[in-house]
Amino acid sequence: MKVLKFGGKSLSNGEGINKVISIIESKVNQGEEIAVVVSARGNATDELEAILGISAKNGDYKTPFESFKKEQNGEYKDIDLSAEFEVLDKLFEGVSLIGDYSNKIKDQILSQGELLSAKLLTFILIKKGIKANFTDSRALIKTDSKFGDAQPLEQVSKKNVIHYFKENSDTVNIITGFIGSNSNNDTTTLGRNGSNYTASLIANYLDAEELQNYTHVDGIYTANPELVPDAKKIDRLSFNEANEIANFGATILHAKTIIPLLEKNIPLRVLNTFNHENQGTLITSKSNKEGIKTLSVLENVSLVNLEGRGLLGKTGVDARIFRVMGDNDISVSIISQGSSERGIGLVVNADQATKAMIELEKEFENDFYSKDVNKISITDDVSVISIIGQDLSTFHKPYTALIKNKIVPILFNNTVTGKNVSLVVKKSQLHKALNVIHGEIFGVSKKINIAIFGHGLVGGTLINQILESAPAIEKRKDIKLNVFAIANSKNLLLNKNGVSPNWKNEIQTNGFSYTIDDVIAFANENHLENLIAIDNTASASFVENYVPLAEGSFDLISSNKVANTLSYKFYKDLRKVLAENQKNYLYETNVGAGLPLIDTIKLLHLSGENITKIKGVFSGTLSYLFNNFSAKDVPFSEILKEAIDNGYTEPDPREDLCGNDVGRKLLILARELDLQNEFEEINIQNLIPEHLREGNVADFLNKLKEFDPIYNKIKAEQEPNHVLRYIGELSGDLQNDKGNLEVKLVSVPSDTALGGLKGSDSFFEIYTESYGDRPIVIQGAGAGSAVTARGVFGDILRLSEKG
């Protein structure tokens, strides 16, 4: 025989009840011997409890009760449920008159949910031509008199069940879950998860072949799919693992449900009523593999803390705590203490926390006077995450990921076997914490949530690169890149599941004005983990957002040079905030676009290598100008106009020609070497004749020929076989606080590496003590939106693969 158990959602009106009937019909037609245990339909138990509460306050209970009756009848108008409704009506009326009720009355009321459910299902099956028998489990499961959480009396209950099934062996018995009766035949209920408990008891007493628990999900998952969208179904579990999951809050399972099955080694299969072709999760005495199985959650709990220096090394403290908890019937989920014993934390049900604190204060009254205990307090709004199967040897991975996401567990402990770890976190951080841990330990793609500010040439190219490459990166690296925010100076587009390739139109139609707090709040409200903010603007004001972003748990990436070239104080203060919040800031594209320049200098510097000089061509635009001017016999203005027409310069070319951009890039490299130079200290040779530096762009563009006499003269006065290059150079004693920073036009031999530069390439020479006069040379495309965007993309992947 197989025992089938159907939950409340499975038995709801419409698709639910129709699926249940179809499953039972199919099994009967296939000749399977089955018994069926049912919960109350839909939310019947909660509704009955709510109506009871209204009655006790002398409120209008009749209106919700009429709705309840209508819902329970559903579309089956010809079924007679008047007996159960009459019982309820009388009970509600009595409670309303008295203004109170006992647990005994409450059990009588709640039991009607299961009775109505079993009666309706039996009625429908009989109408379908299936021989079915309504079975009131109060006649079978005999219990003690602890109303609300009664314990079955095993011997008499087992005898009753075996006898009843012998008498009714040629029918499908539809059994009420959750309810029983005491020796006086008063109705009792079996407490939380009571219907599942009924099913496992019936399976045990009848030596069933299998218990099939039909729910609204496909089985047991690595985490609650409602909280963790990436959760995966587990195909097999052992009873021990299931028991651990049950102990730590899995709603489908409960420890008391597992034990009767374990005693007889009866497999439990968790199935989906709405997808019954799925094989579900099979729980047996054997598991198919070692390793982490699932994340379970305990909610509605509080943390009770005992603090005191006198707890250090004092024996018997734990025993006293447990005695107090036991005497007051307070269940402790977790107890944990530091090695110093100065602090002990207990996790208890939220509704028992105040009682626990009061009783502990009584127990430790003398210890307060002697100052051994100085404080007993409650921390509300916490949740417990248990990682079932987590070995302490690899626990550093999820723990580090939590810290990186600014989630600091309040308390953690592990079981004696060392195979399960539990963490207490703030309730507000539960959703995010679950996703962070799950992404770290279950081999699913690690989700990286990205906000991109600025979608001009570089930003727009980057967004498209990410959207095009994301599927391949997820397949290759198990990293899921999710662009959830795109913003320009005016509008913000948000989508927690990621923007579409049509983002340009969407930001125009769906974008809205914003502050940076809107982005941070959206990430928090949607529990987004592994956050990265990317600044692709050229804005001096946007860098003011870096601090709130870092404090809001965002790592930072920037192609915008401003933040690294403001005052040295701002530079250091930003890094202090980043360190305090354990956030990273990458900006490889600040100097060499897509070239690996900053990383190389960082690595050399961190390794202790003494860098003595850095020089090179820092501007792709100016590289193009002087490479072509040196190679061709044409006026400087003609080359400059060509560069302007091809879009190589800024809209106002003076921004390139003044040399400030090269100066900023040079300053960034200097600060990577811990030099404290300010921008004002850089000696910059401005390439623009003084009389052309002011005025509007149009006037300037009409006067380009005025460059020619100046630069023709400079070119003509060079030594033979020399070419012009506009370089940045960092020199001096770089072990001091400041170096010499120069930006200048120089003439170099054409047969040198610098002299042989072509096109618009950037070129850098890094001189070190170890390498002597043979510099490390980095050369390549140092400008262009595609190259810069690809460099930013590289920074994204670097951050994604960290920790």
What pLDDT, on a 0 to 100 scale, did the predictor assign at position 343?
77
- The answer to whether 799 touches 635, Cβ cutoff 8 Å, is no
The answer to whether 754 and 745 are in contact (CB under 8 A) is: no
- H-helix or E-strand containing 247? helix 239-247
Closest CA to 88 of 144, 79, 76, 72: 72
Distance separating alpha carbons of residues 361 and 364, to the nearest angstrom: 5
pTM of the model: 0.72
Q: Give the amino acid at 299.
A: E
In contact, 672 and 643? CB cutoff 8 Å? no
What DSSP string describes 191-202?
Answer: -TTHHHHHHHHH
Report the b/e string of 213-236 with b at 16+ CB within 10 A. bbbebbbbbbbbeebbebbebbeb
Q: How long, in residues, is the chain?
A: 803
Q: How far is CA 741 from CA 569, 731, 778, in A?
A: 19, 7, 20
Closest CA to 530 of 463, 594, 445, 461: 445
Token pair belonging to 450 = 């990205």
Helix (H) or strand (E) holding 123: helix 103-127
**Shortest CA distance to 346 belongs to which of 422, 251, 437?**
422
Structure tokens at 56: 């006790």
Q: Is 173 helix (H, G, I), strand (E, B) or coil?
A: strand
Residue 128 annotated as catalytic:
no
Tokens of 12: 């709801």
CA separation for the pair 795, 789 (Å, rounded): 10
Distances (CA, A) of 757 to 319, 637, 659, 728: 79, 21, 19, 15
750 — phi, psi (to 5°)? -70, -15
Of 328, 363, 370, 369, the residue nearest 344 (C-alpha): 363
| Cα distances (angstroms) measured from residue 201 to each of 173, 227, 308, 772 | 15, 31, 46, 82
- Closest listed residue to residue 117, CA positions, set 134, 100, 131, 141: 134
- 163 exposure class (CB count in 10 Å sphere: 0-12, 13-18, 19+): exposed
Pairing of strands 446-453, 479-487: parallel
492-494 sheet: strands from edge to edge? 492-494, 479-487, 446-453, 531-535, 554-558, 585-586
Instruction: Return the structure tokens found at 63.
Output: 């209106």
pLDDT at 312: 63
Q: Shortest CA distance to 199 belongs to which of 109, 275, 269? A: 269
Which phi and psi (to 5°) does residue 356 adopt?
Answer: -60, -45
SS3 224: coil
Mean pLDDT in runs of 10 for the chain (803 residues)?
94 93 95 96 95 95 95 90 95 94 96 96 95 97 96 96 96 97 96 91 97 90 81 83 65 75 92 87 76 80 86 74 90 70 81 93 88 88 86 81 88 71 90 88 82 94 95 90 96 96 95 96 94 94 96 95 94 95 93 87 91 94 95 95 86 93 95 95 96 93 95 95 97 92 97 92 93 91 80 92 72
Buried b (16+ CB within 10 A) or exposed e, 359-368: bbeebbeebe
Cα separations in angstroms, 567 against 468, 531, 535, 581, 731: 38, 27, 19, 22, 21
- The burial of 759, by beta-carbon neighbours within 10 Å (0-12 exposed, 13-18 middle, 19 or more buried), is given as exposed
Report the distance separating Cα 241 and Cα 293, nearest Å.
8
Catalytic residue, from 9, 665, 705, 713: name it.
665
pLDDT at residue 340 in the model: 42
- Distances in Å between the Cα of 21 and the Cα atoms of 44, 115, 124, 273, 575 are 19, 17, 8, 10, 64
Q: What does the longest C-alpha to C-alpha distance in the chain come to?
A: 117
| Chain centre distance of CA 428 | 12
The answer to whether 492 touches 514, Cβ cutoff 8 Å, is: yes
Report in angstroms the alpha-carbon separations of 564 from 186, 506, 570, 668, 721: 77, 33, 8, 6, 38
116 to each of 45, 110, 113, how far by Cα in Å?
11, 11, 5
